[in-house]
Homo-oligomer: A and B are copies of this chain.
């Protein structure tokens, strides 16, 4: 028996001899077991981790070549013990203990729902999602994946939507470097997993974790060429359990049951219910869970979803949806900045920026994607589109999204009230405030008033700043403001104003 323990943000792949581990890091227990038969189907393994009165049961998985693993993400400091169980003697009754130490800087634990409509890390820090999308980046050549990681590092994005299965769609007709199941010709052997496929994804999840980027993992999707969208039900279920056993100890994992679930014609609502149940019951850590649609919205009031993951553009309904679902709302897909033929992939950078501001001032969150091509890309059939392949970001919105993220974090990250914004009631402009009137943010969209009477509370005093979201400037306004306050504005569209309580 070999116990592998990682600490901090280092890779768990490097086993050490001590069982000291950071809170919210991964403890990995590696066990040798039988290779005979088909361990993927025949052998089960789990471990119970105990601390004081708590017991957490974690499923293990077969990693090939007679290697079995159990991964555990401890959520509290101190001494934990464990005992394994299995239907195989070699894996059964193994015991041990780990010592959980304080997290190093940057390790904030998993993101959770906080204050009903918002998110925070387990260490109490607020988390404001500013996501982007590279659906198939882990299935591209290694060099491109490294380029994607470098781009992400320099970007404002702290969440990434990505598919576990490879993708087949416009601009996506390549052969993936690996398959999740052994494959001969066009036939999948669903009785076995390809551990290397999942190991590779784990490496990328950890790369994201090092950059504090949440990995919003898409478990199923309809852009398929290999059969993964229409596997037998028992294979679907085994796949989900395998993925959860492998990935759930990574604190930055989110589960997205699907992208555009309603385009998967072979699934029905009881399939989605069953998947939701498996994900909910098999993940011992309660990672964030949702599902993304194409046409008709999913009913996000369903208990299993932690938040709404929308594909919509009705920003004026965002606040009402939030109130109806009583959950955070993320407009994960609100079209992409780019210039391709498809309507969803050719927003101007200005419009993408505008949509982020509309989300924030509605008290919800937006998602980015980028789909630029050049004439020569098209001629040579080698276009690299961030939205799917990753690569480089070339649009004009990311830097403005970075600017907005900074404003949001400055405005919301500290103070005593609920984190996050709440939209003001009409008839105001897209605008929001913090729960205890700590701050107000107004966005004027295509309106260009020369003066505006801002509805501030009578009993508080605020300083004001004019914000140009495109030029990325913040200009303080002289004076203090209380109650209904008239400010002279710039008389041009797409401007914003922030009030911060003195």
Choose the segment among A78-86, A192-200, A347-355 that binds chain B (4+ C-beta atoms closer than 8 Å): A347-355
> A93 interface residue, CB < 8 Å from B?
no
Flag if A452 contacts B493 (CB, 8 Å).
no
Question: Roughly how many angstroms separate A351 CA and B346 CA in the complex, as a whole number?
Answer: 19
Flag if B488 contacts A375 (CB, 8 Å).
yes
Flag if A447 contacts B346 (CB, 8 Å).
yes
Q: Mark A468-495, 1 if CB is under 8 A from B, else 0.
A: 0000000000000000001010011100
Flag if B348 contacts A448 (CB, 8 Å).
yes
Most chain B Cβ neighbours within 10 Å, of A343, A346, A491? A346
Q: Mark A330-343, 1 if CB is under 8 A from B, else 0.
A: 00000000111111
> A303 interface residue, CB < 8 Å from B?
no
Question: Roughly how many angstroms separate A346 CA and B446 CA in the complex, as a whole number?
Answer: 8
Flag if A375 contacts B450 (CB, 8 Å).
yes
Q: Mark A219-262, 1 if CB is under 8 A from B, else 0.
A: 00000000000000000000000000000000000000000000
Tell me which of B373, B453, B491, B493 contacts A450 (CB under 8 A). B373
> A451 interface residue, CB < 8 Å from B?
yes
For A375, the chain B residues whose CB sits under 8 A away are 450, 488
> A168 interface residue, CB < 8 Å from B?
no
Q: Which residue of B lies closest to A342 (CB)?
A: B449
Flag if A339 contacts B373 (CB, 8 Å).
no
Flag if B450 contacts A339 (CB, 8 Å).
yes
> A416 interface residue, CB < 8 Å from B?
no
Tell me which of B338, B339, B427, B493 contacts A348 (CB under 8 A). B493
Q: Mark A419-459, 1 if CB is under 8 A from B, else 0.
A: 00000000101000000000000001011111111000000
Q: Which residue of B lies closest to A374 (CB)?
A: B450
Known: A346-B447, A448-B346. A493 touches B351 (CB 8 A): yes
For A486, the chain B residues whose CB sits under 8 A away are 341
Flag if B446 contacts A351 (CB, 8 Å).
yes
Question: Roughly how many angstroms separate A338 CA and B453 CA in the complex, as a whole number?
Answer: 16
Q: Mark A251-283, 1 if CB is under 8 A from B, else 0.
A: 000000000000000000000000000000000
Tell me which of B339, B342, B374 contacts A448 (CB under 8 A). B339
> A378 interface residue, CB < 8 Å from B?
yes
For A374, the chain B residues whose CB sits under 8 A away are 450
For A347, the chain B residues whose CB sits under 8 A away are 446-448, 493
Flag if B449 contacts A346 (CB, 8 Å).
yes
Q: Which residue of B lies closest to A450 (CB)?
A: B339
For A341, the chain B residues whose CB sits under 8 A away are 449-453, 486
Most chain B Cβ neighbours within 10 Å, of A340, A447, A449? A447
Question: Roughly how many angstroms separate A339 CA and B489 CA in the complex, as a whole number?
Answer: 10
For A351, the chain B residues whose CB sits under 8 A away are 446, 493
Known: A341-B453, A343-B429. A446 touches B493 (CB 8 A): no
For A346, the chain B residues whose CB sits under 8 A away are 444, 447-450
Within 8 A of B (CB), among A356-415: 373-375, 378
Q: Which residue of B lies closest to A445 (CB)?
A: B351
Flag if A339 contacts B449 (CB, 8 Å).
yes
For A338, the chain B residues whose CB sits under 8 A away are 448
Q: Which residue of B lies closest to A427 (CB)?
A: B343
Question: Roughly how many angstroms separate A341 CA and B446 CA in the complex, as a whole number?
Answer: 13
Flag if B491 contacts A451 (CB, 8 Å).
no
A352 CB to closest chain B CB (Å) equals: 9
Flag if B446 contacts A339 (CB, 8 Å).
no
Flag if A339 contacts B491 (CB, 8 Å).
yes
For A373, the chain B residues whose CB sits under 8 A away are 450
Question: Roughly how many angstroms separate A491 CA and B346 CA in the complex, as a whole number?
Answer: 9
Flag if B446 contacts A348 (CB, 8 Å).
yes
Closest 6 CB pairs of A and B: A351-B446, A348-B493, A339-B450, A346-B449, A346-B447, A339-B491
A-B contact pairs, 6 of them (CB 8 A): A346-B447, A346-B450, A348-B446, A373-B450, A374-B450, A375-B450
Known: A346-B449, A374-B450, A375-B488. 17 other contacts (CB 8 A): A338-B448, A339-B449, A339-B450, A340-B451, A341-B449, A341-B451, A342-B449, A343-B429, A343-B447, A346-B447, A346-B450, A347-B447, A347-B493, A348-B448, A348-B492, A350-B446, A378-B451
